[in-house]
Homo-oligomer: A and B are copies of this chain.
Amino acid sequence: MTATVIDGKAFAAKVRGQVAEHVAKLKEEHGITPGLAVVLVGEDPASEVYVAAKHRQTVEVGMASFEHKLPADVSEDALFEVIDKLNADPKVHGILCQFPVPDHLSERRVVARIDPNKDVDGLSVANAGLLASGETGLVSCTPLGCLMLLRDQLGNMSGMNAVVVGRSNLFGKPMAQLLLQENCTVTIAHSRTKDLAEVCGRADILVAAVGRAEMVQGDWVKPGATVIDVGITRIPHPEKPGKSKLLGDVEFGSASNVAAAITPVPGGVGPMTIACLLANTLTACCRSNGLPEPEGLTA
């Protein structure tokens, strides 16, 4: 292996540290405590684990954490009433509804109900429009996290060829917009792309987000490329019965012999998501109070 393994866990801890510093300053200088509200509908075990992690990290950086657990059969009206109250609450600067929600609710309608200025998941059409127009909004956490890792690794990305594999609203499309803002030449590839290996092989920056375990082979990677692996697939552990193992979209072993730098799975992009959620909540708090935004924590 020759590639630098990008330590997302350590970098996320550094980001949380920066957030914590800003939060302490906000409290001290302005008496303001940023607040993040998480709405959880139903009792999906994976969601509960994730919401608990968000709560813990929110408190750790000194922010206020508000949790709203609603029954799985909550009506849209009742859910919207909760969201409306959070929209109106000046102590709440960020709101997210943990997805998936039960089938009788529409994720699209839920996101649209959240005040775009508090949409710290950056999932709303309003924030997609701001990003697409090069205006200031809130950027979806996972692409923002990848951008931070890339900036840290590469500095100036101007003129680099970036290839994003995957075109979801949640990740691929906003990631492409962010790389374009960094003055990369950006290619968006996906399931219909022909000669995907060849397309990937041109990438100075290769971002894989398709959710197909180890699809990107080492010989698809341009020598010296920076590889960001956003995929997470859980498989039964090959050696430990009853245990599971996480795989990325990139075949790490072969790719790390070719790339200059690569994110592992787990421990790469994953930890950045909650760190960026906290960064977005801080940013939203500063904006709503007319204070300068923290540097290095936004797109």
Contacts and interface: CB of A to CB of B under 8 A. Distances in A.
Interface of A: 124-135, 158-159, 161, 167, 169, 173, 176-177, 180, 183, 185-190, 192-194, 199
A109 B82 CA distance: 32
Contacts of A158: 192
Contacts of A185: 187-190, 192-194, 199
Nearest to A173: B132
Nearest to A108: B135
Which of A130, A158, A188, A190 counts the most B-chain CB atoms under 10 A from its CB?
Answer: A188
Contact of A127 (B129, B134, B169): B129
A194 B159 contact: yes
A133 B111 CA distance: 12
A39 to B, nearest CB: 21
Q: Most chain-B Cβ atoms within 10 A of its Cβ — which of A185, A186, A189?
A: A185
B126 A126 contact: yes
Nearest to A158: B192
7 contacts: A125-B126, A126-B126, A126-B129, A129-B130, A132-B169, A161-B194, A167-B180
Q: Which 3 A-B pairs have the closest CB atoms?
A: A129-B129, A125-B129, A187-B187
Contacts of A128: 128-129, 132-133
A54 to B, nearest CB: 24
A192 B183 contact: yes
A284 to B, nearest CB: 18
Nearest to A157: B192
Given A125-B132, A183-B192, A185-B189, 17 more contacts: A125-B126, A125-B130, A125-B135, A127-B129, A128-B128, A128-B129, A129-B132, A132-B173, A158-B192, A167-B180, A176-B188, A185-B187, A185-B188, A185-B192, A185-B193, A185-B194, A186-B187
